[in-house]
Amino acid sequence: MTLLQVQNLVVEFPGRRGTLRALDQVSFDIAPGEILGVVGESGAGKSLTGAAIIGLLEPPGRIAGGQILLEGERIDQLDAEAMRHIRGRRIGAIFQDPMTSLNPLYTVGRQLTETILAHLPVTKAEARRRAIALLADTGIPAPEQRIDHYPHQFSGGMRQRVVIALALAAEPKLIVADEPTTALDVSIQAQIIQLLKKVCRERGAAVMLITHDMGVIAETCDRVAVMYAGRVAEIGPVHEVINHPAHPYTAGLMAAIPDPMEDREMLNQIDGSMPRINAIPTGCAFHPRCPQVFDRCHVERPELIDAGPTRAACWLRQEATV
């Protein structure tokens, strides 16, 4: 059974100048133990999707349509109390900034044991034992001593490891990680990516990895969803999407990314920029910038259409099969 199903999710922001639709019918699934990457540029809606799933949408933002199903049950319409039980126990979260993800006033051990005790029926001693084991698993040296240290006594990379430990503490089935490595140095990034993969595979936890860095996606994920202007443009196995993109936006994006392993004279550029949510074009959101645009694109918004191993929201794919 799929672990997470997002079906036609719509997120709106009622504002003084009308309601803005930030996410417009976003759909995807995550299988148990799978790592799904959600990639896109700023404003595409990837962080919003993560926030909607964890139930941490900033008001006045709200879910205005569609559903989110965790192990078959709807979680998008739960009240705050019920959502609190799910957060931590069934869905864990990792955010971008390790500096602010941990409470500076409590020791690391206290934060870990607090989470464990809140969700699992264990004794305090057992919780502490588990916390030490978690720290060891995430590569913190001398965990029996470090458990009683405060967050400021850890370096940036170490702190992110603690955050990962915290996310895994209550043994969730799904981890939503929003730009977990963006604030870290390159060499630490590599360590954290490896760590995330290892501990999640070991525990059979699925990961929804939100980032703008295609390199990170390529090294970590099984499948990837490319988002554009609040919609899913393409979704499929990671190497297919990267090497044989079916959507013109994905293709443009891949060609625009400089490769450390290869020289290119000019980078491909997609003219223009992603539309703001108050000015999304009719039909396909990408059509004003698309090098392969034709009449239908101006008028009708495409659904995700099968295009070989991937699915792309592009009328070209339908023309191809006809």
Partner 1 sequence: MNTAAEVKTEAVASTSTTADAPLIQVRDLAMTFDVSAPWLNRVLERRPRQLLRAVDGVSFDIPKGKTLSLVGESGCGKSTVARLLLGLYTPTRGSFTFDGQDAHAAFKTPAGNVLRRRVQMIFQDPYASLNPRWTVEAIVGEPLSEHGLITDPVALRQRVGELLVQVGLAEGDRSKYPHQFSGGQRQRISIARALATEPEFLVCDEPTSALDVSVQAQVLNIMKALQKKRELSYLFISHNLAVVRHVSDYVGVMYLGRLIEVADKATLFATPRHPYTRMLLDAIPKMHATGRARTPVQGEVPNPLNPPTGCAFNPRCPLANDRCRNERPVLHLAGTTQVACHAVEEGRG
**Where along the sequence are the contacts to partner 1 (CB under 8 A)?**
41-42, 155-158, 185-191, 193-194, 212-216, 218-220, 242-243, 252-254, 256-264, 266-271, 273-274
Shortest distance, position 250 Cβ to partner 1, whole Å: 11
Helix 108-119 × helix 80-89 angle, to 10°: 110
What is the pairing mode between strands 305-307 and 4-15? unpaired
Instruction: Record the tokens describing residue 114, joined without a space.
Output: 């607090």
- Nearer of residues 105 and 186 to partner 1, judged by Cβ: 186
Shortest distance, position 217 Cβ to partner 1, whole Å: 8
- Nearer of residues 14 and 291 to partner 1, judged by Cβ: 291
Strands of 231-237's sheet in order across? 91-94, 174-178, 206-211, 35-39, 223-228, 231-237, 310-312, 305-307
62 forms bridges with which residues in the sheet? 12
Other C-beta atoms closer than 10 Å to the C-beta of 36 total 24
- Nearer of residues 48 and 70 to partner 1, judged by Cβ: 48
- Using CB atoms within 10 Å of the CB of residue 188, give its burial: 0 to 12 exposed, 13 to 18 middle, 19+ buried: middle
Helix 156-168 × helix 186-203 angle, to 10°: 20
Shortest distance, position 271 Cβ to partner 1, whole Å: 8
Shortest distance, position 127 Cβ to partner 1, whole Å: 29
- Nearer of residues 8 and 42 to partner 1, judged by Cβ: 42
Task: Determine the Cα–Cα distance for residues 35 and 193; give it in Å rounded to an integer.
Answer: 12
Task: Determine the Cα–Cα distance for residues 79 and 102; give it in Å rounded to an integer.
Answer: 25
- Nearer of residues 117 and 209 to partner 1, judged by Cβ: 209
Shortest distance, position 239 Cβ to partner 1, whole Å: 9
Shortest distance, position 182 Cβ to partner 1, whole Å: 11
- Nearer of residues 66 and 151 to partner 1, judged by Cβ: 151
Q: Is residue 209 within 8 Å of 220, Cβ to Cβ?
A: yes
Task: Determine the Cα–Cα distance for residues 289 and 144; give it in Å rounded to an integer.
Answer: 56
Shortest distance, position 241 Cβ to partner 1, whole Å: 11
> What is the DSSP secondary structure assignment for residue 237, as one 8-state letter?
E
- Nearer of residues 185 and 303 to partner 1, judged by Cβ: 185
